[in-house]
Amino acid sequence: MPRPGFVLEVDKSTPPILFWRGEGFSLERLPADRSRVIYPAEPLAGLDDVDGHIRNALLNPVDMDPLPALLKPDMKLTICFDDASLSLPKMRKPDTRQRIIEAVLDLAAAAGVDDIHLIAALGLHRRMHEYELRHVLGDRIFDAFHPRGMLYQHDAEDYDNLTVIGETDHGEVLEINKRVAESDLVVYANVNQVAMDGGWKSITTGVASYRCLSYHHNPVTLQNTRSLMDRHNSDLHKSVWRLGKVLEDHGPKIFTVETTINTDAFPSPFDFLSKREWEWNAKDRAIYLATQKSLNRTPNRLARKIFHGIESPYATTSVQAGFTPSVHEITLKHVYDQHIVPVEGQTDILTMGIPFISPYNPEGIMNPILVMCMGLGYLFNMYRNKPLVREGGVVIMTHPTYREFNPVHHPSYIDFYDEVLADTTDPVVMSEKWEKKYAEDEWYRHLYRTGNAYHGVHPFYAWYWGAHGQQWAGKVIIVGGDPTAVRRLGFTPASTLDDAFEIASDVVGRSPTISHLHVPGVLVADVV
Amino acid sequence: MIAESLAGKRIAITGSTGFVGTALVERLLRSVPDCELVLLVRDGRRTPAPQRVERELLKNDAFDRLREQHAAPDSTETFKQMTARRITTVAGDVSSDGLGLSDDDRLTWSTANLIIHSAASVSFDSPLDRAVEINLLGPTRIAALCQELGVTPHLVAVSTCYVAGNRRGNAPEELVSAGPFDIGLSWKAEVAAARRLQGDTEALSRLPERLVQFRKDARAELGAAGAPALAGKTEQLRERWVKDQLVEAGRARAASVGWPDAYAYTKALGEQALTDTKGNVPVSIVRPSIIESAWAEPKPGWIRGFRMAEPVIISYARGLLKEFPGVPEGTVDVIPVDIVVAALIGVAAAGPDKAPAITQVASGGVNPLKYRAMIDYISGWFTEHPLYDPEGQPILVPEWNFPGRGKVEGQLTRARNMLSRTEKTLQALPLRGRQAEFTATLDSRRTEIESALQYVELYGLYTECEAIYQVDNLIGLWDTLDAHDQAEFNFDPRVVDWEHYITQVHLPSIVQHARVKTTPGKSRSADRMVRLRTQVLDPKRHVVAFDLENTLISSNVVESYSFLATRRLNGPERARYVIRTLAEAPALLKMDKRDRTDFLRHFYRRYEDAPIEQIEEDATAMMHQLIMTKSFPEGLRRVRQHRALGHRTILITGALEFAVAGLKPLFDEIVAAEMSVRPDGTYSGEMKTVPPTGEARAQILSDYCDAEGFRLDECVAYADSSSDLPLFEAVGFPVAVNPETRLAAIARKRGWLVENWSRANGAPKPLLPIGKMMVERERRRVFS
């Protein structure tokens, strides 16, 4: 029986706590008697026969007819699937999406369906590399569909292949991939790692146009998204659900397959990362020391390769299929079962270690903008009800924040860092002054459409993701970061955690209360 | 009464655009209201003489005072009207017989009642032939012309005290031939010898082995810049060599017969020649010593051009010159320019009968400035008002030890030799960008030291000259003046208070003129780059040309080829490819260095038989897997900035068309190497046209501008190598990107914008530029 997440009150006997620092980590001692560490639950047990559960879900869907009843020989069937931003790190083969799609294709073949397209639901993310597609779908599907042009990636800038479905009562226009819109049935194969994913968001962002995304991917909506992990208090999700209603009423029939995974992210020898520090045995300590020492001597490039090479032994904890909103409710319950940790009250300071990966740099470099996005966008938003830190409190992150960028994946991030951040870090100002220029840049569009680059506007979205956290925090400090880069982000650099507490004392006084969000492990703090 | 006696006279002046000439014209216009001036001025290369007078003479700040007077409300005519009325310009040159005057101008010239000849080749390192033609023969030509025209105006010729030669003790106001130290040189023989030497040197410079050497040197300086640029440079080097030989010859000849340099030597012979050939033309000779900035007129500290002591003083203040030779108790004979001008006017006003035959204008005899005192004033002043180095730190002026000349020269020579050795070594290394700029710094440092060395060599001779110039005639003339003239035309050297003159007048003035850094804080060169960048990014520009390799991406045609060639190979095949290519590399590099076009033609043969369809697919992969990882993000941003400003962007590259197809959205136009295609859908390996490299690029851009109606001088060009010099020279706004050593040095000298762009930090750095291994199935795909 896995143990649930809990809050550890730090006292004199508490050992130092593990902090991620990009491609590395450190052990930090937190002040006794006024600090607490929020630990995630241990990974839940997975399903034994995942394929059996998938088949069962397809045959016994929620609020919808069984899949075989929906399949006709002369129909247009489109299967969409989540892109490389899920899961993080990538899961060991076979990927859940491969399992789902193979099951769907078996049923489609049995029903004699010929016209089948597979579309990677990228949104404005970068196109996946061939080896990533192979990893997610398996060689069999790839080789069967790709050479015939029936497996491809969504293009949010191909206006010949986008079509308007309708408009919400808030004036939001739903514009999605034409093939999806014109299909008789759309099956969505999803992997749900956090509560933000899935539901109507899968299709209304994954195969939508830039125009359509800009209704909810903007600073004001995200400042009122409290939090990203709490759908019912998120303006972003409210907008998405309104668009989902338009899709339901005027769009194609959608059969959603959602799956949840547990938090078993790190295989040996990195499994000590998921353990609680006082339970480390001699071997764990030795491995920690050895890895940490050798990582310190390893060039970034190599360390990155090691970490991005990790394939996680996640287990699938649930599979449900059918009508999108109904399916998503069940999914959320399973996600929360794994993630929710009840926490009492807020503290003056929130500390968190930023890992080497975020949803926007699979196989890539965690550039400074993504550090901000991961810290203030994702980790800060890991709450329900209210943030772990009080309004005007201090957020302290640990990450090297090197000024490094992947020029293939993040070309517009480089210019965003040099040009936009040099001008302003205020999301509202930058959206008015700069967003359009980047969104409509011919060159970025070319790289997004033909290469493996994120859309020109994507750095703005990554920045807006942190808009709520940025507004909430009185000060943000990055420990161990490149000072120039940290200042460019509008944050304060500190060399050690103790220095950071010293700097924070301007805002929160000399003996502040501290919460530490324990990463790795994923948790959502239910703060009451 | 000076003004009265010159009233109504027509005064012809030579050398009016020079230092003394400018002050003289100004003074005559201002203080002798009723005279007219005839100025003999050379036609410039592009500007005719009258325009030169407007631009180079009347625009000078010496005339500010006059301009103000004429701008006053009670003035009856404007400055322009006044100068138009009183100044006549004739085009001519004292180095040609008859002064090169046209018939009309001869007529104008013949109406002059008075000629003040101040034209001279004053540069202390002028080549022997120039010095002879101008300094020696100039005055005799003027006298000869007078005789030809049948007129006898009073000729006042400016000479120099230093005609007395290297000697100690008193130097009286008399012809050298009249003194005890004359060695009886014949000026005619000297002229003949100098002319012969000039012809011989010219011939020597054209010997085949010399020409080969010049060409080699030109190539070393410019690299593979293309035949026209190399030819231009070679000829320039030849001419410079001839000049250097003649400078050296002048110096040697002067020293051998007892003068400090060719200037004094030719001036001395010039006086002799004039005396011998003047006929019935009345001649007065005025000999100033070292002329420096004005004591009071037209304003204290006024100076034109950089003269003798200034570069030395500035080099000292910049810490470049640690020491300067000289004897502390020696006399530095300096005389402010306004005193010289007043003396000239005084001599002219006295007229041919009363004026002394020779008047020396010097301070050494009556109001000496001691070398030690001068040094004390200078170092004291710079300690109080230091110059600043580029980092904004004050420069400490060195203690002066009064060493001998040999010691200082030795120090500087050693420094120069070391620097040029370092520079040579660095130039041989394949450096780019900031490291290359370091070499450029060394280069300018070396140039500075070289010029300091020259100053020491040249002016050191003067500090060692211990003659005391007598000014009895000058004082005699001074005493005949009434109080009004003495106040108006002060030429009494005794009035100068040296401490006041050096610290309050001269140094502040030359520091301002030298445009050196006199305030702390960051260097202005960064500001300069910002300013240049603003010019480049001005919406007014028309076309912007970009080179590709090392300008926008750090890759080259060999890498592209390797990527494409290996993309569909398996492991062992790749290994074989890499080994083969590495073995070939030295030969390829050598070929590329010799001639880029040949190299490209040869190299591109390898594409023979490549199926077009496969190449197209692979080139797309290459765009994202190779070119983007090697791109300079700032460069790509700059291209788009230009487009956003409405400029036409054009990529001119020797790379193959299909290899750069992925860059199309960045440019309005791509000019690349084109390969012909066979009917069976494969490439032939042969070029359709000459690959656009070297001087062809300049031609392409120029043709493009002609066709589209743009102006080349409104174009911008970005490139990285000295082989792009023709392109750089063709456009109005060259930008050197990550320049290699040679280009860095050139860019610095010519004040071009330099950009240092680098690949994105963290970009993947593949060990070898070969394609990613493909999945077996994809790899085996066959293209018909």
Residue range B69-96: average pLDDT? 87
Residue of A nearest to B640 (CA): A443
Q: Is B782 on the interface with A (CB under 8 A)?
A: no
Cα nearest neighbour of A367 on chain B? B762
Write out the two tokens for B372.
């030690």
Would you list the domain boundaries of chain A?
6-42+336-527
User: Using the beta-carbon criterion (under 8 Å), do A418 and B777 form an inter-chain contact?
Assistant: no
Query: Would you call A418 and B637 a contact, using CB atoms and an 8 Å cutoff?
Result: yes
Predicted confidence (pLDDT) per residue in B424-473, tens digit: 776 666 666 666 666 667 777 777 777 777 776 666 666 666 788 888 88
Angstrom distance (rounded) from CA B195 to CA A91:
91
pTM for the full predicted model: 0.77
Are B762 and A406 inside 8 Å of each other by CB? Answer: yes
> In A, which residues are within 8 Å of B631 by CB distance?
407
What's at B650, amino acid-wise? I
Contacts of residue A367 in chain B, CB cutoff 8 Å?
762
State the smallest CA–CA distance between residue A401 and chain B in angstroms. 12
Say which residues have a Cβ less than 8 Å from residue A268's Cβ, sequence separation at least 6: none
Which residue of chain A is at minimal alpha-carbon distance from B781? A147
Among A407, A415, A419, the residue with its CB nearest the CB of B763 is A407
**Domains of chain B with bracketed CATH:** 532-761 (3.40.50.1000)
Class of domain A6-42+336-527: alpha beta
B764 contacts in chain A (CB < 8 Å): 301, 406, 408
Testing the interface with A: which of B617, B636, B651 to mutate, by most A Cβ within 10 A?
B636
Angle between helix B187-205 and B262-277 (nearest 10):
130
Residue A193 CB coordination number (10 Å):
25
Contacts of A419 in chain B (CB under 8 A): 637
Contact A136, A84 (CB under 8 A): yes
Answer whether A407 sits within 8 Å of B633, measured CB to CB: yes
A50-62: average pLDDT = 96
Omega into A520 within 30° of 0, i.e. cis?
yes
Q: Which residues of A touch B666 (CB under 8 A)?
A: 443
Q: Which residues of A touch B623 (CB under 8 A)?
A: 450-451
Checking if the pLDDT of B405 tops 70, the result is no
Amino acid occupying residue B267 = K
Query: Which chain B positions have a beta carbon within 8 Å of A452's beta carbon?
Result: 624
* The predicted structure's pLDDT at residue B723: 81
Sheet holding A383-384, edge to edge: A340-343, A524-527, A383-384
Question: Does B759 reach chain A within 8 Å, measured CB to CB?
Answer: yes
Task: Please list every residue in chain B whose beta carbon sits closer than 8 Å to the beta carbon of residue A414.
Answer: 633, 760
Instruction: Among A265-269, A341-345, B386-390, name the one with the lowest average pLDDT.
Output: B386-390
Question: What average pLDDT does the structure give for chain B?
Answer: 84
Question: Which residue from B minimizes the CA distance to A305?
Answer: B764
Q: Are the beta carbons of A442 and B623 separated by less than 8 Å?
A: no
Locate all alpha helices (DSSP H) within B633-754, ordered by sequence: 633-644, 695-708, 725-730, 741-750
* Confidence category of residue B526, pLDDT binned at 50, 70, 90: low
Percent of chain A with pLDDT over 70: 100
Residue B779 touches partner A, C-beta closer than 8 Å: no
One-letter amino acid at A149 equals G
Give residues 386 to 415 of B whose Cβ lies within 8 Å of A. Answer: none
DSSP B141-170: HHHHHHHHHT---EEEEE--GGGG-S--EE
What percent of chain A has pLDDT above 90? 88
- A390: nearest Cα among A345, A448, A338: A345
CB B505 within 8 A of CB B496: no
Q: Which of A403, A446, A453 sits opposite B665 (nearest CB)?
A: A446
A440 touching chain B per CB within 8 A: no
Residue listed under structure tokens 């035309």: B489
Mean pLDDT of chain A: 94
Task: Mutation target for B interface from A131, A143, A443: give the one with most B CBs within 10 A.
Answer: A443
For strands B114-117 and A524-527, give the pairing: unpaired
Grouping H, G, I as helix, E, B as strand and the rest as coil, residue A298 is coil
Cross-chain Cβ contact B760/A446 below 8 Å: no
CB distance B625–A402 less than 8 Å? no
User: Taking CB atoms and an 8 Å cutoff, what residues of chain A touch B758?
Assistant: none
Nearest to A408 among B620, B629, B777 (CB): B629
Q: pLDDT at position A163, please? A: 96
Local structure of residue B328 (DSSP, 8 states): T
DSSP run (H or E) holding A427: helix A427-433
Task: Note the pLDDT of residue B436.
Answer: 67
Instruction: Provide mean pLDDT across the span A179-183.
Output: 96
Q: For residue A401, what pLDDT band results from cuts at 50, 70 and 90?
A: very high
